[in-house]
Amino acid sequence: MLKNLIENTASPWTMGDGTDSDVVLCTRIRLARNFAQYPFPLKQTETSGQAVLADLSAFCKDRNDLHFYDLHDVSPLEKRALVEKHYISPEHSKDDNHYRGLAVNDTGSVSIMINEEDHLRIQCFAPGLDLDDLWQNVNALDDDIESYFDYAFDERLGYLTCCPSNLGNGMRASVMMHLPGLTLTKRLGLLDQLSNFGMTVRGLFGEGSQSVGDLYQISNQSAIGQNEKDILTNLKSVTQQIIKEERNARNFLKEQNGLRLSDRIWRAYGTLSNARYMSSREALELISLVRLGYHLGYFTQLESAQVDQLYLMAQPGYLQVLYGHDMDEAARDVYRAEKLRATIG
Amino acid sequence: MLKNLIENTASPWTMGDGTDSDVVLCTRIRLARNFAQYPFPLKQTETSGQAVLADLSAFCKDRNDLHFYDLHDVSPLEKRALVEKHYISPEHSKDDNHYRGLAVNDTGSVSIMINEEDHLRIQCFAPGLDLDDLWQNVNALDDDIESYFDYAFDERLGYLTCCPSNLGNGMRASVMMHLPGLTLTKRLGLLDQLSNFGMTVRGLFGEGSQSVGDLYQISNQSAIGQNEKDILTNLKSVTQQIIKEERNARNFLKEQNGLRLSDRIWRAYGTLSNARYMSSREALELISLVRLGYHLGYFTQLESAQVDQLYLMAQPGYLQVLYGHDMDEAARDVYRAEKLRATIG
């Protein structure tokens, strides 16, 4: 089942639909939780690390809709693809002496990282902008886990976490946005103001990652001293403001020089659907333009999900999983071009 | 009939077939001739200029397969398209006080410029490399004209012409070659040696024109002191040598880095078939790659003539003739992209 989740052409952030999907690829809420009875992962022994895994494995069996995996049984390549699909963090894909586990549901809309920085990182995903439903889902799952286990919790501080930035409600909500309009109109500077609203901006793969393909993750900075609803309301309002600015930028580009814009977009499409050799970076740049074009009404022969799946084809790990073997960079560049053509053609 | 010759998608150099058409687009032989009884064009009066036109007009009527046109009745735009199709020289398209005329046959394989630098520039064209047949044709036509009129001829110098470089047999034979292989392997330097063989290299539009789209015209340098057959034998042998070198270069590129080559070619195809805006220069560069690809066996859905017609779509004059109006550069770039897509799509 994990094999299927890794190999299929879908991922939580490339479903292609949902509310405001012209600008928002996906929404994610994750809760950081630790068990009261075990030392935190940083101080974990083999016994306590394995105990956490065993507890979660038992919980998954009980729930019946979650599948448990010990990541020591998953190949480095498959872990890389899991990162690219956003089921696990880059940190969680490391082959170190942590006792790393993963629980996922069939559709991939729920993923729990076990023994990452905290005992549990409970994540729920939804396509498009969908913070309210997502909050219901992750909250219900959290309540269910809490009905089985005692969380490390302090009356004054809230949920206890490894990193102080997660203390409190332990929640990070993030919205993956596609902002080619702001990029092309050189107005990305407005993202710098988000810190004034308690928000932070990250690249495609979270903390420390660069922005590629005009993709930006907007999320709350801190989890302490605010309740979840306030954070979500704030994030929703900030996101909607950015959506508005992005749409304005797209309209501006269309009106000011629609021809140049359509030329850039069609050339990107022509290159993606014909090249025989393509780096990940170039692919992401071209996909961004094609995605923009799709949401401007071009490429009516394509489906929204087909366009977003292109992002997966740009990823080195996922490509190698599809291929079934490790590949060097040159071989990947050829195979990537082939897969991009097949997806878009 | 001239309108049709100007507007149709064919031209003597873009027929797409013929011997060695993977490297040779077209062969041309032209003879420079002057009438004994009139002053040469440089010294022409209205009376003598009109007399030459009248003589040729009468000759065409008599032959029945040649149509005579006074170029004063042809619009500047149409003359530009005639230049681009190679029926007339850039010089002959000028709106000056020469009494310029043109005689062409139905298929466009014969074109006589009247009162260009000489009274007559008799040209015959053939697709691919075809010097022998072409010589028969142009020689027969020349004999026929000479049976009507007295040419300016000197026993010692041969046919008398305005420019000494044409003195003698007045013949220039030229082969239009497509040399992307030599360009990509940086071996064009071998063309520099052609002067040692009495040959000269020019761009798409003859004397003084730059090479564009990897197109080169190879022709004999001088017409004096050699008979036509020797010049043609020499040109044929030089051309065949270049054809061999060009094919070697293409094979080398295929074998050394076929993937990079096919990537470049397919990207060119993708851009040509999708761009919404394209300069003439860019179009010619891309067309060169697509033509190379076609003759390497790609694009089996295309016809050889279809590929070569792309060259016409890159030309500003022909485009405006198709459009039916003058267009500024930006409008041409849009229309060019549209026509290229329609031709290749």
Question: What pLDDT shows up at residue A98?
Answer: 84
Contact between residue B32 and residue B117 where contact means Cβ atoms under 8 Å apart: yes
Give yes or no for B299 touching A (CB within 8 A). no
Q: Which of B270, B277, B337 sits opposite A271 (nearest CB)?
A: B270
Q: Which of B270, B276, B337 sits opposite A275 (nearest CB)?
A: B270
> CA-CA distances (angstroms) from residue B122 to A156, B30, B222, B226?
101, 5, 17, 19
pTM over 0.90: yes
What confidence tens digit (pLDDT) does each residue in B79-130 have?
999 999 999 999 999 988 789 999 999 999 999 999 999 999 999 999 999 9
Q: Characterize the bridge pairing of strands B158-159 and B153-154.
A: antiparallel
Instruction: Tell me the shortest Cα–Cα distance from A307 to chain B, in angstroms.
Output: 17
Give yes or no for A289 touching B (CB within 8 A). no
Break chain B into its structural domains and give their ranges: 2-251, 257-344
Q: How far is CA B100 from the centre of its chain?
A: 19
Instruction: Tell me the shortest Cα–Cα distance from A265 to chain B, in angstroms.
Output: 8
Give yes or no for B153 touching A (CB within 8 A). no
Which tokens is A80 given?
Answer: 């890389």
Q: Is the ipTM of this complex over 0.85?
A: yes
Q: How far apart are CA B7 and CA B75, in angstroms?
A: 13
Task: Kindly tell me if the per-residue pLDDT of A208 is higher than 70.
Answer: no
To which CATH superfamily is domain A2-251 assigned? Glutamine synthetase/guanido kinase, catalytic domain (3.30.590.10)
Task: Kindly tell me if the per-residue pLDDT of A177 is higher than 80.
Answer: yes
Task: Quickly count: other Cβ atoms within 10 Å of residue B84's Cβ.
Answer: 26
Task: Kindly tell me if the per-residue pLDDT of A246 is higher than 80.
Answer: yes
What's the mean per-residue pLDDT of chain A?
94
Give yes or no for A253 touching B (CB within 8 A). no
Q: Which of A259, A275, A337 sits opposite B334 (nearest CB)?
A: A259
Question: What pLDDT shows up at residue B96?
Answer: 85
Give yes or no for B344 touching A (CB within 8 A). no
What confidence tens digit (pLDDT) does each residue in A116-161 have?
999 999 999 999 999 999 999 999 999 999 999 999 999 998 999 9
Q: Are the Cβ atoms of A267 and B260 closer than 8 angstroms? A: no
Taking chain B (345 residues) in runs of 10, the rounded mean pLDDT of each run is 89 91 97 96 92 97 94 94 95 90 95 97 97 96 96 93 90 96 94 91 75 91 84 96 97 94 97 97 96 95 94 94 94 97 92
